[in-house]
Structure 1
Amino acid sequence: MDISIKTLSLFGAVVFTGLSAGLFFAWSVSVIPGTQKINSEAYLETMQSINRAILNPVFFMVFFGSLLFLGAASYYQFHVSSSAFWFMLIAAATYLIGTLAVTGLGNVPLNDQLESTQLNLLNKVQLEDLRSFYESKWNRFHLIRTICAIASFVFATASIFSTLKFIK
């Protein structure tokens, strides 16, 4: 069985982008509603713990691998089909700007700020103020990256379908 780099890049783009979109979607419908039910100190401690735990090789492989696969697939689709190329390029740009950049410029600085905070030195009002500041901004950035990751997955999938004979 001869599997080409083009095929691997397309498969990787769809699978890795789907995994990223799935992670962010699952977070939106499970973790966020769950953390809304706990007090501010528990919320902030939980977010500190999760933010440490997610910094692992598997997450990085999927998060950054999505962009690498999308870029490679865009390159290989350039010579296959105009519509497939544009779908994949839009998927890559959407992921780069809406998922990766929003995470790096929005969520990560908030996580770093939270990590550097010694929660045990804050009183109840300070904990509630920090939570209000952090949670509202973090969830807004998270919503943007979730929508963009899902859109990127849809465009990557559309790229593959646009090359199939029965679609034309």
Structure 2
Amino acid sequence: METTINTLTCFSSVVLTGLSAGLFYGWEFSVIPGTRQVGDAYYLYVMQSINRAILNPAFFLVFFGSPLALAAATLLQYRGDGSWGWWLAATLLYLIGTFGVTAFGNVPLNEALDALDLADLLPEEEATTRKAYESRWNRLHTVRTAAAVLSFAAAVVGALTTGPHQ
């Protein structure tokens, strides 16, 4: 039974973290380059729409489930064969670099953007708002993408080095 719980926890950690890393990676290399091609008003409207739409159960499962599953895997491996260091690295990378950057960086920017009535902005205000939002948001996104990918890689190594006796 303990082996089954360990296996399911490690598997869940890898899958959830991989989904999170994939989402952020895909955004980094497809959505961001695409949004650079649109005008200021469209950019702000699209980002407001996406920021509202992403708040859904499927995203929450992946975003909040990843650190929980990673922490559980770390605890389960702590008394094990030494792979726990990889699980700890994966957990810390995700908690600090992905979850923390999102919660304390991207989300406040998203909330400030959401509070704006875009119809009230003049074209020069649209440009100023976009510049302030986009440059900071994209820098933070690059950090959380790198952290999510590194967290996923550490979880995969952790899973591959977890001994069969676990």
Category of TM-score, reference length = shorter chain: over 0.9
| Cα distance per residue 1:97-139 (max 9 Å; x no partner) | 0000100000000000000011111111100000000000000
Structure 1 Cα separation of the partners of residues 162 and 57 of structure 2: 33
The CA RMSD over aligned residues, in Å, is 1.5
Deviation at 1:163, TM superposition (A): 3.0
Is the CA contact 2:102–2:144 (under 8 Å) kept in the aligned structure 1? Answer: yes
- Using the size of structure 2 for normalisation, the TM-score is 0.95
- Following TM superposition, where does structure 1 have runs of at least 4 consecutive aligned residues deviating by more than 6 angstroms? none
Structure 2 Cα separation of the partners of residues 19 and 101 of structure 1: 18
Is the CA contact 2:81–2:163 (under 8 Å) kept in the aligned structure 1? Answer: no
SS at match of 1:55: coil
Structure 2 Cα separation of the partners of residues 78 and 164 of structure 1: 12
- Using the size of structure 1 for normalisation, the TM-score is 0.94
Percentage of identical aligned residues: 49
Is 1:73 the counterpart of 2:73? The answer is yes
Correspondence for 2:146: 147
Give runs of aligned pairs for residues 63-102 of structure 1, distance below 5 A: 63-82=63-82, 84-102=83-101
Correspondence for 2:130: 131
Task: Tell which has more relative contact order, 1 or 2 (C-alpha 8 A, sep 6+).
Answer: 2
Correspondence for 2:8: 8
Correspondence for 2:54: 54
SS at match of 2:95: helix
Give runs of aligned pairs for residues 30-41 of structure 1, distance below 5 A: 30-41=30-41
Deviation at 1:70, TM superposition (A): 0.1
Deviation at 1:161, TM superposition (A): 1.6
- Specify every segment of 5 or more residues in structure 1 that has no aligned partner in the other structure, as ranges: none
Structure 1 Cα separation of the partners of residues 96 and 118 of structure 2: 32
Deviation at 1:2, TM superposition (A): 9.4
- Specify every segment of 5 or more residues in structure 2 that has no aligned partner in the other structure, as ranges: none
